[in-house]
């Protein structure tokens, strides 16, 4: 494709990784296009966002796919960078249609299934000889003597994985249920709630880490690690305060599973370091940009630029290094963390004191003033987010 095609589509949402990509790509001199389902999103106000285009929400998957294909067909667009859970699936499933217009870096459907299907991922981890929590289908479990977590078998529910599901019904099952030792769950109710037979994993207590990577047909082009210092829930989940690290054992296990999969494209692997054994256990793999991307780009692991270089056959320009000790905050996520303390309950994780945790967050923001959205050279995104969240809060209280 012509080198003059310098526009990049970023599928942005309310999460901050789309904004991190927009900033990075603009610094490369590229024309940035934010594909958004809501024109009021913060990223659309950024000085680094050259253009925003309204697309349907991924919940209407056929319309969302057609909108992305329409953007791909524009004569100035060279690539699409996947940020939403549905993106890589669409770019892979309809590769013949997208490849006519753009260059993308995504795995084929067979490899994609190996990470979307957590049972398949367990089998791949065994072949790669890397640690993963003991995983069974819900109906296979006969021993409930240990602490367990029940969650969706699939990262994304689609017709590709579930026979009774139509393409237009694709969705995401986010429910995670904690089952303490000795308690037997209502299996039928859980299957009905999740829309399929979920998996059961042993609960592993420990610190959470992320391993990010970009691969080109089985060859690693660049990797990154961060330690999660705080999640959007006090029980864990997506990182909202993180610090870049470089741990040889984590690098080894991250590469081992992706090498086994002969991976191609982006990969975000979530890990728990077992507090007893020190082993890094795979929690899941997401084949796209991740929520905490800003921590990587601020540390010098410029995945959006690396993706652009790979899509344009210039991966030799990638300098796969980054600085450790760099931390960033997602401020709205920090607020969600405090809300989780007030509203959530877990049999595994002790609920912290709300005032003490709030004070801890304020201290960390003062001591480590790195933020996903808050930038002095681009103040409008954070201002828009504050206004939008305040408006949403007022409306919800009045309704």
Q: Where are the domains of the chain?
A: 7-111, 134-202, 206-383
pLDDT at 334: 94
Classify residue 69 by its DSSP letter: H
Q: How confident is the model at residue 166 (pLDDT cuts 50, 70, 90)?
A: very high
Mean pLDDT over residues 67-96, rounded? 97
Region of poorest pLDDT, from 189-193, 294-298, 388-392: 388-392
pLDDT at 345: 85
Query: What's the CATH number for 206-383?
Result: 3.30.470.20
DSSP secondary structure string for all residues of 274-306: ETTT--EEEEEEESS--TTHHHHHHHT--HHHH
Strands 219-233 and 236-245, sheet pairing:
antiparallel
pLDDT (tens digit per residue) in 116-139: 999 999 999 999 999 999 999 999
pLDDT at 125: 97
Q: How confident is the model at residue 396 (pLDDT cuts 50, 70, 90)?
A: very low
pLDDT at 85: 92
pLDDT (tens digit per residue) in 327-359: 999 999 999 999 999 998 888 888 999 999 999
pLDDT (tens digit per residue) in 10-19: 999 989 999 9
Write out the CATH class of domain 7-111: alpha beta
pTM assigned to the model: 0.94
CA dist 297 and 313 (Å) reads 21
In percent, the amount of the chain with pLDDT more than 70 equals 97
pLDDT at 391: 65
| More confident of the two residues 1 and 134 | 134
Q: Identify the helix (H) or strand (E) that includes residue 117.
A: none
Average pLDDT, the chain: 93
Cα–Cα distances (Å) from 270 to 37, 54, 83, 283, 290, in that order, read: 27, 31, 16, 5, 10
Mean pLDDT over residues 242-256, rounded? 98
pLDDT (tens digit per residue) in 175-186: 889 999 999 999
pLDDT at 175: 82
């Amino acid at each position: 494709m012509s080198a003059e095609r310098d526009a990049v589509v970023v599928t942005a949402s309310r999460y901050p990784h789309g904004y991190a990509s927009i900033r990075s790509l603009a610094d490369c001199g590229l024309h940035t296009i934010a594909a958004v389902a809501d024109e009021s999103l913060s990223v659309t106000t950024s000085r680094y966002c050259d253009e925003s285009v309204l697309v349907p929400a991924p919940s209407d998957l056929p319309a969302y796919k057609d909108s992305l294909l329409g953007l791909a067909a524009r004569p100035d667009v060279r690539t699409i960078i996947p940020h939403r859970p549905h993106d890589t699936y669409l770019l892979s499933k309809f590769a013949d249609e997208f490849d006519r217009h753009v260059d993308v870096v995504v795995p084929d459907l067979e490899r994609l299934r190996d990470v979307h299907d957590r049972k398949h991922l367990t089998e791949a981890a065994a072949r790669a000889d890397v640690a993963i929590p003991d995983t069974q289908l819900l109906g296979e479990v006969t021993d409930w003597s240990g602490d367990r977590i029940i969650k969706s078998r699939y990262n994304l529910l689609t017709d590709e994985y579930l026979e009774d599901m139509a393409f237009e019904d694709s969705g995401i099952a986010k429910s995670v249920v904690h089952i303490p030792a000795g308690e037997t769950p209502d299996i039928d109710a859980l299957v009905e709630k999740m829309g399929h037979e979920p998996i059961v994993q042993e609960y592993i207590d420990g610190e959470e880490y992320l391993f990010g990577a970009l691969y080109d047909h089985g060859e690693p082009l660049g990797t990154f690690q961060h330690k999660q210092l705080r999640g959007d829930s006090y029980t864990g989940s997506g990182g909202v305060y993180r610090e870049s690290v470089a741990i040889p054992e984590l690098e080894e296990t991250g590469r081992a599973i992706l090498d086994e999969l002969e991976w191609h494209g982006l990969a975000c692997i979530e890990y728990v370091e077992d507090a007893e054994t020190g082993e890094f256990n795979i929690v899941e793999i997401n084949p796209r940009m991740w929520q905490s991307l800003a921590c990587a780009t601020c540390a010098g692991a410029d995945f959006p630029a690396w993706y652009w270089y790979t899509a344009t056959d210039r991966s030799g320009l990638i300098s796969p290094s980054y600085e450790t000790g760099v931390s960033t905050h997602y401020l709205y996520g920090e607020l969600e963390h405090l809300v989780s303390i007030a509203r959530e309950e877990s049999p595994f994780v002790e609920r912290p004191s709300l005032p003490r945790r709030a004070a801890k967050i304020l201290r960390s923001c003062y001591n480590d003033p790195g933020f996903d959205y808050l930038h002095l050279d681009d103040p409008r995104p954070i201002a828009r987010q504050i206004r939008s969240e305040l408006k949403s809060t007022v409306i919800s209280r009045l309704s």
